[in-house]
Chains A and B, each alone.
Chain A
Amino acid sequence: MALYRAHVLVCGGTGCVSSGSEGVLTALKERIAAKKLDNEVMVVPTGCHGMCEMGPIVVVYPEGVFYCRVTPEDAQEIVEEHLFKGRRVERLLYKESETLKGVPNYKDIPFYSKQVRVALRNCGYINPDNIEEYIVRDGYAALTKVLTEMQPADVIAEVKTSGLRGRGGGGFPTGLKWEFCARAAGDKKYVICNADEGDPGAFMDRSILEGDPHAILEGLLIGGYAMGADEAYIYCRAEYPLAIKRLQRAIEQAKEYGLLGDNILDSGFSFDVHIKEGAGAFVCGEETALMASIEGQRGMPRPRPPFPANKGLWAKPTNINNVETWANVPTIIRNGGAWYAAMGTEKSKGTKVFALTGKINHTGLVEVPMGLTIREVVFDLGGGILGGKKFKAVQIGGPSGGCLTEEHLDLPISYESLTAAGAIMGSGGLVVMDEETCMVDVAKFFLEFTQAESCGKCVPCREGTKQMLLMLNKITSGEGTLEDLDTLEELALMVKEMSLCGLGQTAPNPVLTTLRYFRDEYEAHIVEKRCPAGACSALLRYIIDPERCRRCGLCAKACPVSCISGDRQTPYVIDQDKCIKCGACYEKCPFDAIDRR
């Protein structure tokens, strides 16, 4: 490889691409060529840096200067000032939220300083389309070590020592699961990577697939060797076209390098990887449904046992792990299980990737050791609540998870602590909510999701979620009764108890936790017919204050149903019977003369 004096990394993750990073990449290349710097400076498109909110992101090494919200027009300044004259472009630096001072170095930005990146270690550092960049970062070293120095049982022992647990939601100890599959009788076995990432609000798997596809291949290879499997499937959502493209490319390259295929590195071990595109059903993330889908059937879960380790894909012993789980494996093998187990809490070892979203300043992806508190993650890394509003709750674990409140802010994050509080780790989506989020609406939102995604096989899930949703609709439209709350709770517990698979067993969680921590909000909807957060439109009233109205008429123009009347002389009024509560007038009024109650 040629030597360059500087590297310019341009984020090519989905977030930055949609903010226009491809234009930035082209502009940088053009400018660099124009200045004849192209044999000294290399421009590298990378995977996601995690701080999607501040994208498009450009990082210049060796200094590690972090530029955010870069536009193609800024490229010229970066090239001329920074790369040519060696002066940082202060204007584009990340600004500290309080002092508004620019933070030049990547490592000093609070969003990054508390992170420990294992699963995400290459995301944003390397060009995912180039296997050599992965290899330079010790890629495939773990595979070599495993094939030349370790017996399959040693590999499993190492993973057990690491304490790694499934990152797909369940948190089952990975080493133990591998051991079950390794011990299962049969000469044909499969390993599967679950890249269905169905939880809305979580996108860590996507970033890993797009930013570091070889780590997943290496993880699968190591797992295959340990369990005696010679074939792998990666089941990836069709909504992630870029991830699929990068995986295909990675597989081709690994084959060219002799790291996939027959007799890998002359060890006698052969291994092949296939990609399967999902077809758009949340329940297919559940392992037995996923396997049914690979087999070409409707993706419906089946009761376990038998577990996949004994009877999985095409009835052969199969081991299925999540993307993030697989991505941790190579580093665990390289650094040793004990190294990984030194991080985290007593029962939840290592690091976990969280997707910070919602009403938070720095939305994006962070990887932190287990045991950090929710406050540290939301306020220190996430930069606190958007617009200085008040924190109300954080929803953890997607549609199967729950909402936690202010009193949980100092809870150290681990599988056990979250479950005890009524939420779950899930895939690691943290959706932050502020005072303007209505918790009844949130519960309804999740139930709409699970209700629509219920596969319909078992009655408690199919009918129970439907009835719960009807009750929540009744409450948010102001027609609920206090008895409904008891019925709702009873039904929720029943659905939780009696459903066939994880979808139904966890679907009531958002309802149960909001009932537990925000019962007063439910009661306000029922008794006072009022939505305290001002989010449930059926309970809202928009009223024009005649004193403040300047009779400009903008509200009447904005109203899609023409229910506002008035003229230059008479203040405008809203016909409450016709109003559809869309809020268009409220947003348009230049004088804040409209009240929302």
Chain B
Amino acid sequence: MARQALLVSPELCIGCRGCQTACKEWNHLSVQKTRNTGTFENPPDLSRTAYNRIRFIEMPTEGGPRWMFVSQRCMHCGDAPCMTICPSAGAIFRTKEGAVAFNRDKCIGCRLCSSACPFGLVRFDEKNRISKCHMCSDRIASGLSPACAKTCPTGALKFGDRNSMISLARTAGYNKLYGEEDLAGLSVLYAFKESPKVYGLKENPAMPETLVFWNEILKPLAYAGFGLAVGASLLHYLAIGPKREEEETRHE
């Protein structure tokens, strides 16, 4: 199946947060009490009960403050560091639509994924198991849109074939989308007017370097080294053989 993606257009977002509610509804997420921090932003962070949220960014300009509403959630990286580091088989997996989904029954709660995520987007439930946006993997598997995109009244969240999402943004005048290339392409594409920094996102997100080396060198090295040690011992035993006591030199 062709890779699916969400196209996020902050310019079209009115901050109604219907997406937050729709996500809770579909994923049976409860609510956590939050505090008013002097902005409309609520909840203040992603959490086990908030797989997505709208970040409110207030930018001072000459004509008064400018508001930007930016949908935040797991980016569904094409080359996902969380998946690379996860030590438990099948705890994080890729769906055929290209979403990065998870299986709580296999998660061991080590939180390595959270350290590997270049965006810091992984959260955990009460049992310390991974809890994040899975792009409504159950919905998209049967041809539906994720709940957030389905609800969005303005088209600030659109869902569909990743290539058509990119062409759609091109026709709307965005020459380059955030997430087009980095990490083998994200499945959450952002149509940004300004530099990513303004929206609070890294310029060039990438797989942590130690993780690349770990995956490509250390993993095979540990395996090969063990094989070599066992193989060399065996060879020595067969070719030269054990050193029996009676054959030894004696120090007088």
Bound pair: A and B? no
Give B contacts to A, CB under 8 Å. Answer: none
